[in-house]
Amino acid sequence: MTRRKLAPGRLVIASHNAGKVREIRALLEPFGIEPVSAGDLGLPEPEETGTTFAENALLKAHASAQASGLPALADDSGLCVAALGGAPGVYTADWAEKQWFEAQTLGGPGRDWYLAMGKVEGKLAEQGPDVDRSAFFICTLALVWPDGHEEVFEGRVHGSLAWPPRGTMGFGYDPVFVPLGRDLTFAELDPTEKHAMSHRADAFRKLVEALF
């Protein structure tokens, strides 16, 4: 299929994760796009039944594009830990169980990120003190138009897992992820620094190159 360019105008960010929406807004800012989030439009959160990042990103983008009549950009992402055979991977959000409490400083709505980071650390610790702590974040972006046209891009950032969690910026698993070549976690880095190197920024760079 031929590439389709993204024209300036309204676009739905097909995500219900406030941290992601904030980052995607910042990445879109230079491009004359007016982003509205799926939450702003009151769109429901689709069930993520896919077994790959691309399937889930496409499923979320199609749902928002159809419901809104606007192009929709979805992000399916996750943390892949080498010593855990790539887990939690596509199930990264599921490892952070939904709790009854209100949104946490570092999380999407009601997800318990500290519990999730603790689960990852617990499984690493089972393998002893010399366990390989390397991990990467992956981000698959799917852009879908109301007529069904699809574009998909993937980005990664490699690094290692720290324990205990450090820092208050970012969201999700940021307090335990140290990108390669740095000593600070993503939650300790200024957002502009995270945007220069993150999996989301990497995927976004490819999107911009292809679609603008």
Ligand X SMILES: O=c1nc[nH]c2c1ncn2[C@H]1C[C@H](O)[C@@H](COP(=O)(O)OP(=O)(O)OP(=O)(O)O)O1
Cα-Cα-Cα-Cα dihedral sign, residues 160, 14, 105, 116: negative
Check the annotation: does 76 bind a ligand.
yes
Nearest approach, Cβ of residue 93 and Mg ion (Å): 5
Does residue 168 contact residue 104 with C-beta atoms inside 8 Å?
A: no
Does residue 170 interact with ligand X by CB under 6 A? yes
Does residue 163 contact residue 121 with C-beta atoms inside 8 Å?
A: yes
| In 24-131, beta strands by DSSP E | 33-37, 72-81
| Sheet strands side by side (includes 72-81) | 33-37, 9-13, 72-81, 134-144, 150-161, 177-179
Does residue 173 interact with ligand X by CB under 6 A? yes
Task: Determine which one of 40, 76, 132, 190 is catalytic.
Answer: 76
Rounded CA separation 82/99 (Å): 28
Does residue 185 interact with ligand X by CB under 6 A? no
Taking CB under 6 A as the criterion, the residue among 37, 64, 68, 92 binding ligand X is 92
Rounded CA separation 85/132 (Å): 11
Taking CB under 6 A as the criterion, the residue among 20, 64, 141, 188 binding ligand X is 20
Nearer to ligand X, 130 or 183 (CB): 183
Output DSSP code: residue 59. Answer: H
Helical (H) or strand (E) element with 183:
none
Does residue 80 contact residue 134 with C-beta atoms inside 8 Å?
A: no
Does residue 135 interact with ligand X by CB under 6 A? no
Whether 183 is catalytic is no
Does residue 93 interact with Mg ion by CB under 5 A? yes
Per partner kind, with CB cut-offs from 5 to 8 A, the member of ligand X, Mg ion, none near residue 78 is: ligand X
Does residue 37 interact with ligand X by CB under 6 A? no
Nearest approach, Cβ of residue 39 and Mg ion (Å): 12
Residue number of the CB atom closest to ligand X: 172
Q: Which residues are annotated as a binding site?
A: 15-20, 47, 76-77, 171-174, 194, 199-200
